[in-house]
Every structure is written in structure tokens, then in C-alpha cells.
Homo-oligomer: A and B are copies of this chain.
Amino acid sequence: MGPQPPRTADPNLIDPLTRKLAQWASLSPEEVAVLRGLQSATRVVARKRDIITEGRKYDGLLVLIEGSAMRYRVLHDGRRQVLNIVLPGDFIGFPGCFFDTALYSIAALSETVVSAIPFAHLLRLFEAHPRLAATIFWSFSCEAAMYAEHLIDVGRRSARERVAHFLLELLTRLQAIGLADECSYQLPLTQELIGDALSLSLPRVNHALRQLREDDLVAIENRRVIIKDLEGLAALADFERTYLGRFQLAELLTKS
């Protein structure tokens, strides 16, 4: 048997978490190994099943390895708000992981693979690999920033702007983990769920999507979104800032 090429040579073989973190902070081989070690115990969850249920206790921090999920809450009268979409490489259980019971439910949008990180490992990480811990810390900051951006969406943007912004954010996030090409991707959710995420009714989401199609900004065929005019869409959604692109660790953290 000849020497095997290093596995990390092919980006598709890197787990999504490592891939995501490596975008911003260069990781040493040792750190990559630690990350890989964190994601040992995996478990499969079927579509439409809860990965975590609000109010229940749960084991620790989870990482989504494969598939997609949504974080949501339903109010007493049945209204539902989707807080965000969870993609491979994202943590599940933040911000809830420091509470004694889950604050929100997480449901699988497709068949998913998740991996649990016990609290004990996490604490050890804080002490043994402060730089890695800081990087994870920082990825939580990104998540908080996405909540804030989502809030602006729902609070101050029209239906068309919201949908446009939503499609762009998904494009950017999926590209970051290699699940979208230059301008298209597979939509992981239904229009009803988009409505619950953007606080719009299903008919309104449909209407907004049709408008975007008629304006030749996007095309959607069979759940595949194709961005036809990125510039136009970004202008409409006030996405010029492309805040996701500005996700860069402050200099002091990347060194040290």
C-alpha cells in the first residue's frame, strides 16, 4: 500500500464545523484534530422530528453535521416563530446550552446527523485550547449578529425585502460550507416555513417570490433557487453591507 494522501486535502472530507471555523482563523493541525475529536458521538434524527424540545433538559452542546434544521418557538395560541435556520457546522443549543432547560425547540428539516459535545469536553477546551475556544466564542458572536439582522428584517423591512434578504443570507451561508455554487442552491424549506421565519403569511411569501421572479431577480424551479441578479437583489434587500462577509476575527485574536 502506498502512502495515503492527507485526508484534509479534499475540502469535502473536512467536517463542516472545521470548514466553517477555518474560514476566518487558520487552525493548526492539532486544533483540527481536537475539533474532530469533539464531534465523536453522532446520532441521526429523522425529518420533522425535534432534535431538542423546548423546556426539556438536554445533554450538552450539539453540532449539526449533515442536513438542516430550524430553531423555533410556538406561542400558546399556536402562532409559531422560526428563529433561525441551522445549517451543517452550526452549533445547536446556543444560547440555550447554558440554561438548565432548552429555551427553544429545534426540528430537523431533513434527515440530519448531529454530534454531541459533552460539557466536560467543552470546559477542558476552554483551558487547554484558549485560542480555539475564542474562535468558537466568536462564531457565537456571528450567530447573535444574525439574530439581530433577522430582527431588523422582521421589524423594518417589507415582504419583498425580507424574502430577498432571506434568500441572500441563505446563499452566503450555504456557500461558506460548500453547499451552494456561485449563484444557486437547493432551498431546504417550504414557503410556509419561510413565512414563519419572516413573520409573513404563506400567501404573502408566495406573492413576494412571484414578484422577485417577475422582476427577473431570481428563478425558482423545483425547490432550486437561482439568483439571476445578485446586484439588484442586494440593493433591494439593503444587503449591500453583506454583513456576513465582514465576519472577520479581530486582529488580536487571529494572532496571539
Q: A residues near B, CB below 8 A?
A: 71, 73, 75-76, 79-81, 83, 94-101, 103-104, 119-120, 123, 126-127, 130, 133-134, 137-138, 140-145, 147-148, 150-152, 154-157, 199, 238, 243, 246-253, 256
Contact = CB atoms under 8 A, between A and B. Distances in A.
Question: Which 10 A-B residue pairs are closest in the complex by CB-CB distance?
Answer: A155-B199, A95-B141, A95-B144, A147-B147, A119-B252, A98-B138, A144-B144, A79-B156, A95-B145, A98-B141
Nearest to A141: B95
B144 A143 contact: yes
Given A75-B238, A119-B250, A120-B252, A103 B148 contact: yes
Given A95-B145, A103-B243, A138-B98, A81 B252 contact: no
Contacts of A151: 81, 83, 147, 150-151, 154
Given A130-B127, A148-B103, A247-B99, A155 B156 contact: no
A56 to B, nearest CB: 13
Contacts of A134: 123, 126
B147 A148 contact: yes
A192 to B, nearest CB: 15
Given A81-B155, A81-B156, A243-B103, A95 B253 contact: no
B83 A248 contact: no
Contacts of A148: 71, 73, 83, 95, 103-104, 147
A83 B150 CA distance: 10
B154 A97 contact: no
B246 A99 contact: yes
Given A145-B96, A156-B75, A123 B250 contact: no
A247 B120 CA distance: 20
A149 B155 CA distance: 13
Most buried by B among A73, A137, A151: A151
Contacts of A83: 148, 151-152
Contacts of A256: 123
Contact of A103 (B76, B130, B145): B145
A146 B34 CA distance: 32
